[in-house]
């Protein structure tokens, strides 16, 4: 099977039509995944180059024909303003060589020595207009991470610039849930987050070998979380979502201290005990003066042949919302996306936009945008 490096090498001569430089050298080849079923990737283009998408797709297919018999799945999207500025700077300033590995597969660790200026980091500044939303739950197993990744993707589908921090340091799962196989790499003194489904993602899972256990104490976890702010090149964001570990431990407390303006969504199941425990996470948000946007009830029912079976009972989400004096934002059924590993953009946990549950996540995203005013 071909490697990611071989894909980049095969495409090194492919130029961005407007900038007239190699897409690989400019770091504009993203989401490269090689599977037995084929090769998939995203090409990020200058807005003026979108009209060339068809020709570029054929050029990619021709260049990769020797690596895989199946035609590659190629996604094209225009650059954000931030990406456009970076790409133009590299192209005009002759720095494309420094970005030649921007699509390469490298194992990286968070850059050290930058946390001292953390209080000045733009994302943590009181003047920042990025909407930070922590997704919390009282206990594990309620689908908090599923809600987080699908809400992030839904916001991106609505045209928002979204970042996602997998803050569950011990139980990181976001990379696997989103079908991310590559790792971030260091460019200059920053680490570039992995972009998937239009969402910029960072996770402890990117820096751990072979799913090894994390044996750290609270202060070390706090430093890692701070690195996720200080050492990551997030670019321009509208929303930053944080998938918190369940409960009210050190990481959740660190987030509340670092992001005093963060908003919060509480996830529960309909079961009365799950809602009772989730109330603790809500109480922590209230004590630290965080705004609770609302409650999401996951696994609300199981539906088959049009019949709903309330396998975890009913009413937990509404009861929790009443307890916290907030709104029940959404109820999602028990289920899983009907994705198949042979699909080029396969992910185990992200619903397609046209799936009924995917449509419900778009509705939730609209509600979040309306409530946050961005």
pLDDT in tens, 109-135: 444 433 334 444 667 666 678 899 999
Answer whether residue 110 is part of any domain.
Answer: no
Please report whether residue 108 resides in a domain: no
- Residue 330 gets the label, from left (phi > 0), alpha (psi -120 to 50) or beta, of beta
Q: How many beta carbons lie within 10 A of that of residue 287, not counting itself? A: 10
In-domain check, residue 25: yes
Tens of pLDDT, residue by residue, the chain (374 residues): 788 788 889 999 999 999 999 998 888 887 777 777 788 888 888 989 988 889 999 999 999 999 998 888 888 888 877 677 777 877 776 543 333 333 333 333 444 433 334 444 667 666 678 899 999 887 778 999 999 999 999 999 999 999 999 987 777 889 999 999 888 888 888 889 999 999 999 988 887 665 555 545 555 555 667 778 778 899 989 999 999 877 655 566 666 667 767 899 999 999 988 888 888 888 877 777 788 999 999 999 999 888 999 999 999 999 999 999 899 999 999 999 988 777 777 889 999 999 999 999 999 999 999 999 77
Residue 227: count of CB within 10 angstroms of its CB: 21
pLDDT at 250: 58
| 180 within some domain | yes
Cβ-proximal residues to 159 (8 Å cutoff; 6+ apart), any chain:
none
Alpha helices by DSSP H, listed for 299-355, are 316-323
Supply the pLDDT for residue 102: 36
Residue 201 φ then ψ, to 5° = -120, 140
Q: End-to-end CA distance of the chain, in Å?
A: 44
42, 67, 99 — which closes off a domain? Answer: 99
Nearest in space to 243 (alpha carbons), one of 167, 177, 173, 178:
167
Query: From the CA atom positions of the chain, what is the Rg in Å?
Result: 21
322-333 CB burial, b ≥16 within 10 A, e <16: ebbebebbbbbe
Residues 241 and 334 grouped into a single domain: yes
Same domain, 95 and 120: no
Q: Any idea what the CATH number is for the domain that residue 232 is in?
A: 3.40.50.300
pLDDT at 111: 41
Give me 326's structure tokens. 């907030």
CATH label of the domain that carries residue 65: 3.30.300.130
Residues with Cβ within 8 Å of residue 219, at least 6 apart in sequence: none
- Residue 350 vs residues 14, 201, 238: alpha-carbon distances, Å: 31, 14, 21
Q: Does residue 337 fall inside a structural domain?
A: yes
Structural domain count of the chain: 2
Residue 106 in domain: no
Q: Which domain holds residue 23?
A: 4-99
Instruction: Answer yes or no: do 149 and 44 share one domain.
Output: no
Q: Cα separation of 196 and 208, whole Å?
A: 19
pTM above 0.75, yes or no: no
Q: Give the span between the Cα atoms of 341 and 332, in whole angstroms.
A: 24
Could you give the CA distance from residue 287 to residue 298 in angstroms, rounded to a whole number?
25
| pLDDT cut 90: percent of the chain above it | 41
Measured between alpha carbons, how far is 349 from 337 in angstroms, rounded to an integer? 6
Beta strands at 73-78 and 38-45: parallel, antiparallel or unpaired: parallel
Same domain? 185 vs 334? yes
| Among the listed residues 175, 362, 155, 149, the one whose alpha carbon sits nearest the alpha carbon of residue 243 | 149
- Both 47 and 126 in one domain: the answer is no
Residue 143 domain-assigned? yes
Single residue among 99, 130, 148 that ends a domain in this structure: 99
User: How far apart are alpha carbons 353 and 197 in whole angstroms?
Assistant: 11
Contact 174, 145 (CB under 8 A): yes
The pLDDT of residue 178: 93
Q: Which of 49, 50, 12, 52 is nearest to 29 (CA)?
A: 12
Dump pLDDT digits (tens) for 324-344: 989 999 999 999 998 877 777
What are residue 264's phi and psi, to 5 degrees? -145, 145
Is the CA virtual torsion 98, 102, 104, 108 positive or negative?
positive
Domain boundary among 99, 133, 155: 99
Residue 105 belongs to a domain: no
Nearest to 290 by CA among 255, 260, 246, 250: 260
- Give CA–CA dist 123/109, Å, rounded: 21
Listed in sequence order, the residues at least 6 apart from 356 whose beta carbon sits closer than 8 Å to its beta carbon are: none
Do 122 and 245 lie in one domain? The reply is: yes
């Amino acid at each position: 099977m071909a490697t990611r490096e071989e894909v980049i090498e095969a495409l090194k001569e492919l130029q961005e039509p407007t900038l007239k430089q190699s897409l690989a050298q400019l770091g504009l080849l993203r989401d490269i995944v090689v599977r037995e079923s084929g090769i998939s990737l995203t090409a990020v283009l200058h807005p003026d180059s979108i009209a060339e998408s068809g020709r570029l797709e054929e050029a990619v297919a021709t260049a990769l024909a020797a690596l895989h018999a199946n035609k590659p799945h190629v996604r094209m999207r225009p650059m954000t303003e931030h990406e456009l500025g970076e790409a133009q700077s590299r192209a005009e300033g002759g720095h494309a060589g420094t970005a030649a590995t921007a699509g390469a597969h490298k194992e990286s660790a968070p850059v050290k020595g930058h946390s001292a200026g953390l209080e000045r980091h733009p994302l943590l500044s009181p003047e920042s207009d990025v909407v930070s939303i922590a997704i919390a739950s009282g206990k594990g197993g309620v689908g908090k991470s599923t809600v987080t990744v699908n809400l992030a993707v839904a916001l991106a589908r609505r045209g928002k610039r979204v970042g996602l921090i997998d803050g569950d340091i011990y139980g990181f799962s976001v990379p696997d849930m989103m079908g991310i196989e590559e790792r971030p790499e260091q460019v200059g003194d920053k680490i570039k987050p992995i972009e998937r489904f239009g969402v910029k993602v960072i996770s402890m899972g990117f820096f751990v070998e072979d799913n090894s256990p994390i044996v750290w104490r609270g202060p070390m976890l706090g430093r890692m979380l701070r690195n996720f702010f200080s050492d990551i090149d997030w670019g321009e964001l509208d929303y930053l979502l944080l998938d918190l570990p369940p409960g009210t431990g050190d990481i959740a407390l660190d987030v509340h201290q670092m992001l005093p303006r963060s908003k919060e969504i509480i996830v529960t199941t309909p079961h009365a005990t799950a809602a009772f425990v989730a109330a603790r996470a809500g109480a922590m948000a209230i004590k630290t003066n965080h705004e609770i946007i609302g409650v999401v009830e996951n696994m609300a029912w199981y539906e088959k042949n049009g019949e709903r079976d309330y396998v975890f009972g009913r009413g937990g989400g509404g009861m929790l919302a009443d307890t916290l004096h907030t709104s029940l934002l959404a109820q999602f059924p028990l289920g899983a996306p009907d994705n198949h590993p042979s699909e080029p953009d396969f992910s185990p946990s992200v619903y397609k936009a046209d799936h009924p549950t995917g449509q419900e996540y778009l509705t939730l995203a609209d509600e979040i945008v309306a409530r946050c005013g961005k």
